[in-house]
Amino acid sequence: MNPALSVVFLTTLIGVGQGLFLALFTQQSYALFDLLPHQDARFYGWGSLLALCFTMAGLIASFFHLGRPERAWRSATQWRTSWLSREVIVLPAFMGILFLYGVSHLSGFDPVLVKLPGGLSINATIILGGVGTILAFALFVSTGMIYACLRFLQEWNSPLTVINFILLGSASGFTLATLYAAMFAPAQAGFFGGWAIIITVLGLLGRSTSLWRNARLKPKSTTQTAIGIKHPRIVQKAQGAMGGSFNTREFFHGKSASFVSRMKTGFLVFAFAVPLLLLVVDLSHASVLLLCATFVAQYVGLLAERWYFFAEARHPQNLYYQGIS
Amino acid sequence: MTQLALVIDLNVCVGCHACVTSCKEWNTSGAAGPLCDENPYGADPTGTFFNRVQTLEVGQYPNTETVHFPKSCLHCEDPPCVPVCPTGASYKRKEDGIVLVDYDKCIGCKYCSWACPYGAREIDEKQKVMKKCTLCVDRIYDTKLPESDRKPACVMACPTSARLFGDVHDPESVVSKAIRENAGYALMPEWGTQPANHYLPRRKTNLKIHEDELERVDNPLKVDGKLPKPKKSDPTLDDVTSW
């Protein structure tokens, strides 16, 4: 596939937003059970609005993918069958919750809604946070399933696709939360940093597994099944057009094998190795600048990762476009 | 239930691209607007086509065969491109099984083209909507046309009749018979898309002549030459000429 920058930015940016929200609400959940000190409402509030900015940027990026963005509203109609449609519904819903969660914290309108028998009081932000968590995961699943549900794109057609979207998005979000905490609640940076390390390691495991799996895939479709002629040697001599077509532009990335392999090394280094190293260093020598570098490195790494994710998928239609003339 | 489809005989196709040009001509002139081209006379001409003829060489020199392979939407019975469409612009008609795109609903997200293993869909780079073969739906039901012309433009154009059109669910239709009797097959059966369009394989046409067929039956003396002149009184074959 030819990676579309709009989709690369969409999936990575909303991933950061989802991860950041999950990180904030994880901390608030810990605080609910008195495992961590409850932070100032502004910490959660502005954090949630920061997450909203990332999802907003992702949403804007997604519009660049559409040929007819003015009709985008129509894409919410086929949620019964289309994962893309489900994503289109869940993303704004999640953004709405981010807004409400943030505003509820910032405005101080956070009434106790339920008093549990154990003496635990459930505030409005806890309910909103719970709904937001469900929506964040629903969004990860929808985004991942857009790719994982295409059965003949064998590189994507695996639960690993969804798992990696969850892990990589969360990893970048928790890294951003570490930076955010280092700036506004330094005592909590260790908590977020610890989780960021754990999730980044899990992300590395998940992504390595999918790289290992994809390297061993045997394409089900061959030139023989594509045209139905069972001869071992078939060479394409013409593809019906010499100046290229949508089929050659959309499904071939046109980059050399060495470029693709450099992207793979690049994302393994920048999305995993560098952030892990910097996060570990940061545990003992906390520094906002260092965490800035960590987040930027990981985000750039994830851009490369998403580029590679698209580039590594070999679409069976390419079998019909093997030679020009 | 009806399922209209094409059957393409690879044994007969000569790769003349008449189906391509006829398709383009018909479908660029319809109510749905043009099939846009870019740089048609420039260095890298490109454009939207519903149908393309590809050419492949099968075998190793000198034992090679050239196969011309027309490729268009296969109107799958279980089309993977339809359920993924977020707007419902992509749909399969219940009444005749044609897979169509509603150009007024399409948002140009290209997801359906990702979901088609055959690469049958092409985006119109000017109108920014996805386009594909319609089986000339604006032609095959047009009662203003003579009945013999109510066929897709590609079928009408094919000089060798390599393209057949009909209902593959009707066992007595010309396409069903062609599939049945000439080993018609579907492309990429491994994905379970059940393409409605079928292809007929290349066939070896051998003319087996037996020794005794080379000998005239009315030559009992087994001597090749002029037959003895018949008498004037002998009956003639046509009662007009004597001999």
- Name the nearest CA neighbour of A140 among A83, A81, A211, A71: A83
Contacts of B133 in chain A (CB under 8 A): none
Q: Nearest-CA residue of chain A relative to B131?
A: A246
Query: What whole-number distance in Å separates Cα of residue A70 and Cα of residue B122?
Result: 20
Q: Name, in order, each residue with C-beta under 8 angstroms of B94's C-beta and a sequence gap of 6 or more.
A: B1
Whether ipTM > 0.90 holds is yes
Size of interface A-B (CB pairs under 8 A): 181
How far does B167 lie from chain A, in Å, by closest CA?
Answer: 22
Residue B242 has pLDDT above 60, yes or no: no
Distance of alpha carbon A101 from alpha carbon A81, whole angstroms: 30
Look at B187 and A225 and tell me if their CB atoms are within 8 Å: yes
Is the per-residue pLDDT at B118 higher than 70?
yes
* pLDDT 10s digits, B35-54: 999 999 998 899 999 999 99
Per-residue pLDDT at A71: 95
DSSP-assigned letter for residue A269? I
Give B68's strand partners. B55
A315 touches chain B (CB under 8 A): yes
Residues of A whose CB is below 8 A from B125 = 246
What are the DSSP calls for chain B, one per residue?
Answer: ---EEEEEETTT-----HHHHHHHHHHHSSTT----EESTTSSS-EE--SEEEEEEEEEETTEEEEEEEEEE----SS-TTTTT-SSS-EEE-TTT--EEE-TTT-----HHHHT-TT---EE-TTT-SEE---TTHHHHT-TTS-GGG-S-HHHHH-TT--EEEEETTSTTSHHHHHHHHTT-B-S-GGG----S-EEEPP--------GGGGS-TT-TT---SPPPPPPTTSPPSSSS---
Work out the pLDDT band at B221, boundaries 50, 70, 90: low
Nearest C-alpha in A relative to B61: A233
Chain A residue whose CA is closest to B17: A240
The answer to whether A201 faces chain B, any CB pair under 8 Å, is no
d(CA B100, CA B89) in angstroms, rounded, equals: 8
Would the CB atoms of B187 and A81 count as touching at under 8 Å? no
pLDDT of residue B210: 85
Residue B243, pLDDT > 60, answer no
Within a 10 A sphere around the Cβ of A272, how many other Cβ atoms? 24
Q: What is the mean pLDDT of chain B?
A: 91
Q: What is the model's pTM?
A: 0.90
* List of chain A residues whose C-beta atoms are within 8 Å of the C-beta of residue B89: 74
Residues of chain A with pLDDT under 70: none
- Give the pLDDT of residue B240: 60
DSSP helix/strand/coil, A241: coil
- The answer to whether residue A238 neighbours chain B at the CB level (below 8 Å) is yes
Do the chains contact at B107 and A71, CB–CB below 8 Å?
A: yes
Looking at the partner chain, which of A66, A153, A221 has a beta carbon nearest the beta carbon of B108?
Answer: A66
* A235 vs B: CB within 8 A: yes
Write down the pLDDT at residue B241.
61
CB A67 to CB B52 under 8 A?
no
Angular region, B26: left φ>0, alpha ψ -120 to 50, beta rest: alpha
